Amino acid sequence: MFRDTYDPMKDDMIQVMNPEGEIVHPEWMPDLSDETIIQMYKTMVYGRIIDHKVLQFQRQGRILTYAPNLGQEAAQVGSGFALRQTDWVASAFRELGVWLRKGAPLYKILLYWYGNEEGMHMPESVRILPVSIPIASQFQHATGLAYASKYKGEDDVTIAYVGDGGTSQGDFHEALNFAAVHETPNMFFIQNNQFAISTRRAHQSKVKTLAQKALAYGMPGIQVDGNDIFAVYAVTKAAVEEARSGQGPSLIEAYTYRMGAHTTADDPSVYRKEEEVKEWEAKDPILRLKKYLSRKGLWDEDQDAAYKAEREAFVKEEFKKVEASGLVPLEDVFDYLYAEKTPDLIEEYEKIKARYAKEGK
Amino acid sequence: MAILNFIEAITHALDLEMGKDERVVVYGEDVGYEGGVFRATKGLQEKYGDKRCFDSILAESSIIGSGIGMAINGLRPVVELQFSGFMFPGYNQIVTHAARMRNRSRGQYTVPMVIRMPYGGGVRALEHHSESLEALFAHIPGLKVVIPSTPYDAKGLLLAAIRDPDPVIFLEPKRIYRAFKQEVPEEDYTIDIGKAKILKTGKDITLVSWGAQVRDCQKAIELVEAEGYSVEHIDLRTISPIDKDTLIKSVKKTGRFLVVHEAIKNFGPGAELVTLVNEGAFLSLEAPPSRIAAPQVIVPLPKGEHHYLPAIEQIADKIKELILY
């Protein structure tokens, strides 16, 4: 839909709903049922509650490192809703809203951040690649996933996520180039949250918008208001449908803001002022959709409070189960290097086991 | 039975498996239309089409990274890196993803993929075209590292590698790509990854080598056996996982051990092998387990490369030195 009309060199940003929750571009407003819109809202709120609770657990010393999503919920949930269940997701590590939408069980997500690889063993139907920490490297996997779908004659598409910092990596460029050359069904989704840890977007790239980078590869690029869930959904949905129907890949830049820290190991007060964060609080993606829903009479404060209380209790319950899971057994550390353990791995495993037995562990 | 050289055996194996298994896709720089700079994939695009055999973009990280995605989504990519000296941009994908995906997802996502690379010196080439980097792969958990030394083994090991459920680094000694021909059966056969081959039995010393060094060692053995010594020669064939049992059994019999490789000495594969021998056959040893390897220098350009590669006389002298120790 946008690929024929949007010119990335004009630096426009697609917006459907303004920060007041008013629809300013009805012609782009996606055709969504009230139930779906409420579902989108709930998924964003759920994600924020998870963030909030996990940060509490972290401060209590019950979880180690965590990468919060605060402020980026619309970019994640909006794009996630544009996918169907069998589509592939190549994640980085700040895509909680997408994971929730794709049906990743909370227990698994929490188990991963708790420090157990088993957390990234998702149900088969989820189709999310595990967390990829080397920045932008997952973009390359996304091209292969999409090539294979097309090769097999399946019409699943693949979406890959990266931050603004990740657009500087070679893997970002190579992947876009591969996808354009092979016309694979890929969406490359940049969550431009303005920071790579502490490095600002302006220090990352000289181009005016990151969407413009698409032009170098001969694919459409589009910048969207990342805090407007309707705009994110509309733009991603259009790209998904185009990719699914054989029109090739596209690049989407969701312009948003990381209101929290990079991870729990980061202190953003070192590199940014509180006033800047305050400015973005006024553009909060959840608040924006809530205003829309209240105006339409689809959601009220009682419902809001009840939903939040119910989700909070659920997160607490799931985390209790995670804490009860204890330490990773020795077998798990040795069992997943190869389909079959090598003689050397068997020997090393037996040695450690014998040592533990001697020590009475 | 066909009479094939090493590179023809590679092409033959790829052809056979592409014909049998539609999941196999073959790509790399110049691999499609031209058939690769060494012609390993000659004729495959014509036969199987440009979706199954194609020229990749000129980007090693993309070659490996896209292959990881394909493997996860049900294909069996067999990719070629033009020379092992150019693998470094792709090394990140090999180490941080290909080797780890099974473990990271606790067995949900796996990477059955073969990464072929010509490697090794003695071909009078430009910089970055002569390295022996097997230790850089053998050091990484989650990878298998295979080096055939004959056309027969090249076919059997490549078929085994393609059918392996995990990523296999398949290093091809390019010095012997066209050095000799051998009878290679037309039919399907595989050679077990992780199994060394005793090329000849002997009683005075165990000599281990792989790749192009196997032939040089054979020439050295001829020299010393003409003087009445007896050498047991093992072709390691798989660098990781190492066939320790075959090695230790042999050293327990001969009491002496020498490994010859053209990878550099420091922290090289020989260091691992010598340690295994010390740990596994110490009481049988009659001489220090030893290695011949390239010195810790950058592979010289052609006019200096003779200083680098192990020499046949050097191997023969060392064998005698250890026997007479």
Rounded mean pLDDT, A284-295: 97
Rounded mean pLDDT, A303-324: 98
Token pair recorded at residue A121 = 């063993």
Chains A–B, number of C-beta pairs less than 8 Å apart? 142
Strands B181-184 and B2-5: antiparallel
Contact call for B96 and A181, based on CB within 8 A: no
CATH fold for the domain made of B2-184: Rossmann fold (3.40.50)
Q: What is the pLDDT of residue B1?
A: 81
Confidence of residue B111 (pLDDT cuts 50, 70, 90): very high
Beta bridge partner(s), residue B114: B78, B168
Residue B260, helix vs strand vs coil: strand
Asked if residue B143 has pLDDT above 80, the reply is yes
- DSSP conformation class of B49: -
CATH number of B197-323: 3.40.50.920
Is the Cβ of B144 closer than 8 Å to some Cβ of chain A? yes
pLDDT tens, A164-215? 999 999 999 999 999 999 999 999 999 999 999 999 999 999 999 999 999 9
Asked if residue B71 has pLDDT above 80, the reply is yes
Q: What is the pLDDT of residue B287?
A: 98
Confidence of residue A237 (pLDDT cuts 50, 70, 90): very high
Of B72, B93, B105, the CB nearest to A137: B93
Cβ–Cβ < 8 Å for B291, B271: yes
- DSSP conformation class of A225: E
Q: What percent of chain A has pLDDT over 90?
A: 98
User: Which residues of B are less than 8 Å from A335 in CB distance?
Assistant: 107
Asked if residue A53 has pLDDT above 80, the reply is yes
Cα–Cα distance between A56 and A62 in angstroms, integer? 9
Q: What is the pLDDT of residue B72?
A: 98
Asked if residue A109 has pLDDT above 90, the reply is yes
For chain B, the C-alpha Rg in angstroms (whole number) is: 20
Cβ count within 10 A of residue A229:
32
| C-alpha to C-alpha distances, A167 to A211, A252, B2, B39, B129, nearest whole angstrom | 10, 12, 51, 36, 31
Q: What is the pLDDT of residue A1?
A: 72
Residue B54, helix vs strand vs coil: strand
- CB-neighbour burial class of residue B144 (10 A; exposed 0-12, middle 13-18, buried 19+): buried
Rounded mean pLDDT, B139-168: 98
The dihedral through the CA atoms of B268, B269, B270, B275 has a sign that is: positive
Cα–Cα distance between B170 and B238 in angstroms, integer? 9
User: Which residues of A are less than 8 Å from B28 in CB distance?
Assistant: none
Cα–Cα distance between B103 and B94 in angstroms, integer? 14
Q: What is the 3-state secondary structure (H, E, C) of A79-137?
A: HHHCCCCCCEEECCCCCHHHHHHCCCCHHHHHHHHHCCHHHHCCCHHHCEECCCCCCCC
Residues of each domain in chain B carrying CATH 3.40.50.920: 197-323
Residue of A nearest to B68 (CA): A141
- CB-neighbour burial class of residue A308 (10 A; exposed 0-12, middle 13-18, buried 19+): middle
Q: What is the pLDDT of residue A3?
A: 87
Q: What is the pLDDT of residue B296?
A: 96
Cβ count within 10 A of residue B84:
26
Asked if residue A361 has pLDDT above 90, the reply is no
Residue A296, helix vs strand vs coil: coil
Confidence of residue A318 (pLDDT cuts 50, 70, 90): very high
Token pair recorded at residue B118 = 């010509």
Rounded mean pLDDT, B73-84: 98
User: Which residues of A are less than 8 Å from B75 in CB distance?
Assistant: 144, 147-148, 151
pLDDT tens, B9-40? 999 999 999 999 999 999 999 999 999 999 99
Q: What percent of chain A has pLDDT over 70?
A: 100
Average pLDDT over all residues of chain A: 97
Contact call for A174 and B57, based on CB within 8 A: yes
User: Which residues of B are less than 8 Å from A137 in CB distance?
Assistant: 65, 92-93, 96-97
pLDDT tens, A215-227? 999 999 999 999 9
Token pair recorded at residue B107 = 């067995």
Confidence of residue B279 (pLDDT cuts 50, 70, 90): very high
Cα–Cα distance between B305 and A16 in angstroms, integer? 66
Cβ–Cβ < 8 Å for B206, B256: yes
User: Which residues of B are less than 8 Å from A338 in CB distance?
Assistant: 102, 142, 144, 165-166
**pTM of the full structure:** 0.97
Asked if residue B59 has pLDDT above 90, the reply is yes
How far is the alpha carbon of A190 from chain B, nearest alpha carbon, in Å? 19
Beta bridge partner(s), residue B24: B76
Q: Choose the catalytic residue: B129, B139, B306, B307.
A: B129
Cα first-last separation, chain A: 62
pLDDT tens, B42-58? 999 999 999 999 999 99
Contact call for B142 and A338, based on CB within 8 A: yes
Cβ–Cβ < 8 Å for A257, A192: no
Q: What is the pLDDT of residue A218?
A: 96
User: Which residues of A are less than 8 Å from B107 in CB distance?
Assistant: 121, 335-336
What angle is formed at CA B102 by the lines to CA B99 and CA B105, rounded to 5 degrees?
A: 125
Q: What is the pLDDT of residue A49?
A: 98
Is the Cβ of B96 closer than 8 Å to some Cβ of chain A? yes
Helices (H), chain A: 34-59, 73-81, 96-101, 106-114, 138-151, 170-182, 229-244, 274-281, 285-295, 301-324, 330-335, 343-358
Rounded mean pLDDT, B213-223: 98
Catalytic residues of A: 258, 262, 271
Q: What is the pLDDT of residue A82?
A: 98
Rounded mean pLDDT, A71-88: 98
Cβ count within 10 A of residue B135:
20
How far is the alpha carbon of A334 from chain B, nearest alpha carbon, in Å? 9
How far is the alpha carbon of B238 from chain A, nearest alpha carbon, in Å? 12
Cα–Cα distance between A189 and B181 in angstroms, integer? 52
Instruction: Provide the ipTM.
Output: 0.96
Cβ count within 10 A of residue B101:
27
Strands B231-235 and B197-200: antiparallel
Q: What is the pLDDT of residue B131?
A: 96
Residues of each domain in chain B carrying CATH 3.40.50.970: 2-184
Asked if residue B292 has pLDDT above 90, the reply is yes
Token pair recorded at residue A16 = 């459907």
How far is the alpha carbon of A215 from chain B, nearest alpha carbon, in Å? 18
Of B69, B104, B165, the CB nearest to A143: B69
Is the Cβ of B100 closer than 8 Å to some Cβ of chain A? no
Confidence of residue A282 (pLDDT cuts 50, 70, 90): very high
The dihedral through the CA atoms of B172, B175, B177, B179 has a sign that is: negative
Rounded mean pLDDT, A73-80: 98
Asked if residue B269 has pLDDT above 90, the reply is yes
Residues 6+ apart with CB under 8 A from A76: A47, A69, A94, A95, A96, A97, A98, A101, A191
Rounded mean pLDDT, A11-22: 96
Rounded mean pLDDT, A87-107: 97
- The letter for the amino acid at A82 is A
Number of H helices, E strands in chain B: 11, 14
